[in-house]
Amino acid sequence: MKTVREIMEPVTTWLLPTDTLAEAVRKMRTTLRKPPNVYGVKGMVVVDTQGTLVGIVSVKDILRAIMPSYMELAEVGGMTWPGMFEEMAQRVKDKPVSEIMHGSPVYVSPDATLMECAELIVKKNLWRLPVLEDEKLIGIVYARDLHYAIATELFGET
């Protein structure tokens, strides 16, 4: 029986609550993922200066940050204009990550089973789970890691 510890990857890049959205976008674009060794992640953990997990930021959180509040309330139709996306991105680029992150993120123990991990990912509609041991962030497991574990089990490959 495999555990999360066997499939998680170490956290090598993270955000601080004081990082700006522009810094978050840059870090997310330049973070190297483990195999297939490509750059770019769709979400990152946020830690305080002591390394304690305090949140998670995803691409959707950043997209939500550039949307004016009225767009969440109604269909926008003619309430947009050419260049609006770019203009709104410029307006929020200096906003701190702490204002858009999901605080108190769901996490998993490194000794949790893969089924426990899968259950959290499915039921909570997540794509990634931080891994904490003794309240210390030691890794992260992605939905794709579980998919690779399934492929390994079924076909002996990753």
Per residue of the chain (158 residues), what is the pLDDT tens digit? 899 999 999 998 999 999 999 999 999 999 887 766 778 889 999 999 999 999 999 999 999 999 887 776 666 556 778 899 999 999 999 999 999 999 999 999 999 999 999 999 999 999 999 999 999 999 999 999 999 999 999 998 65
Among residues 135, 38, 54, 152, which one has the least CA distance to residue 96? 54
- Kindly tell me the number of DSSP H helices and DSSP E strands found in the chain: 7, 5
Q: pLDDT value at position 78?
A: 62
Whole-Å CA distances, 53 to 13, 30, 72, 146, 151: 13, 21, 29, 22, 30
Distance between CA 101 and CA 21 in Å, rounded? 10
**Residue length of the chain:** 158
Q: Which domain does 134 fall in, by range?
A: 4-155
Strand partners, 89: none
Number of structural domains in the chain: 1
Domain harbouring 108, CATH code: 3.10.580.10
Q: Where are the alpha helices (DSSP H) in the chain?
A: 4-7, 21-30, 59-66, 70-73, 84-92, 114-123, 143-155
Q: pLDDT value at position 69?
A: 75
